[in-house]
């Protein structure tokens, strides 16, 4: 249950309501910044009808509440003039890791020439082996920020640890939570206090409920700007690096108001398959794509097999545009593709 208080409600009214809830011995979370109280369903909520400071009460049938579609139909927000969510579509691209100034400069110039508005690149990399390239750290953040500012791009970069929050916050426009950190609840709590968007990747073995509850950690901290990113889950079969769950895109649209993007690079782990998955994700209704692109893929210091070349990326972008145009001709969204196929 979500209780939304009137903006005109006084401090005394709020405190009195909170006291009443306390006396019920129920757990609840008061989100002062948003004037919201989130609590489990009450057995007897009749007394709330007499509370004049309440604007709206939402009952959800899901454990995640603020992330639910019952609470809100759609979310969109602005990142330095670029819209994320609703009907907007954003391409986010760049190398897995920031390696050199020239690599990022070249990539930024290329992306901006195609009209892409977001550059991605990790400065702090979570690597399976401690001996692999783990990123340039602060130098990397400086490099990507400089190139992004030069080409009017927004920076998407991973926040790997809570201790790096201040540093990454300063350089990033969107803070990425990696698959391995989706269950890092203290990090999620901290990101709830941040006023920049969070790109929340799906844990590689996370159920949709767990993923949306991870989003709920951020939302319940007061940060409404959460982007869900499907990047594939681990299955019994390792023929592809991960199994990108395309079906989860329309499912999330049914369950939540949050923007959903897809990462076909980690989703398949092989450059030759990134295009097919990109197109599938767009057709399924994704609000954007996160794609790893490198000026010289075979020389990439991390995730080289899945990095696409500039030429390849350009071709993917053109085809993505075609799919988007095609979707626009349907009046009811991606599901009408099925109707079209039956003709």
Q: Which residues bind ligand PEP (CB under 6 A)?
A: 96, 122, 126, 178-180, 201, 231, 266
Task: Please identify, among the stretches 149-157, 280-288, 299-307, 317-325, the one whose residues bind Mn ion according to the rule CB under 5 A.
Answer: 299-307
Which stretch of DSSP H or E encloses residue 236?
A: none
Task: Please identify, among the stretches 34-42, 243-251, 300-308, 312-320, the one whose residues bind Mn ion according to the rule CB under 5 A.
Answer: 300-308
* Residues 291, 296: Cα–Cα separation, whole Å: 15
The reply to whether 96 sits near Mn ion by the rule CB under 5 A is yes
Query: Nearest approach, Cβ of 227 to ligand PEP (angstroms)?
Result: 13
Nearer of residues 145 and 266 to ligand PEP, judged by Cβ: 266
Query: Nearest approach, Cβ of 229 to ligand PEP (angstroms)?
Result: 8
Long-range contact list for 177-186, CB < 8 A, 24+ apart? 177/201, 177/214, 178/126, 179/203, 179/204, 179/231, 179/266, 180/126, 180/204, 181/126, 182/206, 182/210, 182/211, 182/214, 183/210, 183/214, 185/214, 185/217, 186/162
Query: Nearest approach, Cβ of 211 to ligand PEP (angstroms)?
Result: 12
Nearer of residues 131 and 343 to Mn ion, judged by Cβ: 131
Contact between residue 306 and residue 274 where contact means Cβ atoms under 8 Å apart: yes
* Residues 193, 195: Cα–Cα separation, whole Å: 7
Residue number of the CB atom closest to Mn ion: 96
Contact between residue 153 and residue 107 where contact means Cβ atoms under 8 Å apart: no
Query: Nearest approach, Cβ of 57 to ligand PEP (angstroms)?
Result: 37
The reply to whether 303 sits near Mn ion by the rule CB under 5 A is yes
Query: Nearest approach, Cβ of 117 to ligand PEP (angstroms)?
Result: 18
Chain positions contacting Mn ion, by CB under 5 A: 96, 303
């Amino acid at each position: 249950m979500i209780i939304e208080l009137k903006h005109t409600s006084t401090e005394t009214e709020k405190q009195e309501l909170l006291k009443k809830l306390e006396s019920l011995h129920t757990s609840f979370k008061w989100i002062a910044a948003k004037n919201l109280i989130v609590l489990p369903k009450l057995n007897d909520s009749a007394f709330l009808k007499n509370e004049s400071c309440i604007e709206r009460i939402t009952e959800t049938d899901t454990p995640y509440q603020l992330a639910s579609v019952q609470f809100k139909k759609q979310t969109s927000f602005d990142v330095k003039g670029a819209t994320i969510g609703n009907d907007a579509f954003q391409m986010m691209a760049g190398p897995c890791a920031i390696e050199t100034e020239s690599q990022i400069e070249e990539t930024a110039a290329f992306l901006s020439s195609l009209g892409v508005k977001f550059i991605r690149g990790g400065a702090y990399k979570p690597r399976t082996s401690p001996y692999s390239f783990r990123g340039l750290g602060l130098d990397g953040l400086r490099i990507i920020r400089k190139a992004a500012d030069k080409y009017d791009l927004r920076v998407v970069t991973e926040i790997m640890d809570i201790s790096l929050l201040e540093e990454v916050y300063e350089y990033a426009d969107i803070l990425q939570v990696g698959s391995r950190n989706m269950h890092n609840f203290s990090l999620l709590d901290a990101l709830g206090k941040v006023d920049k968007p969070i790109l929340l990747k799906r844990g590689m073995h996370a159920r949709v409920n767990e993923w949306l509850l991870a989003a709920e950690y951020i939302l319940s901290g007061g940060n409404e700007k959460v982007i869900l990113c499907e990047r594939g889950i681990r299955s019994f079969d390792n023929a592809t690096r991960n199994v990108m769950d395309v079906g989860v895109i329309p499912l999330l649209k049914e369950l939540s108001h949050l923007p959903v993007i897809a990462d076909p690079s980690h989703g398949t782990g092989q450059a030759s398959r990134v295009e097919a998955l990109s197109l599938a994700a767009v057709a399924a209704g994704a609000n954007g794509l996160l794609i790893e692109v490198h000026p010289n893929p075979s020389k990439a210091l991390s995730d080289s097999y899945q990095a696409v070349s500039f030429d390849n990326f350009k071709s993917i972008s053109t085809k993505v545009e075609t799919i988007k145009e095609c979707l626009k001709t349907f009046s009811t969204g991606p599901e009408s593709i099925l109707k079209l196929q039956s003709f």
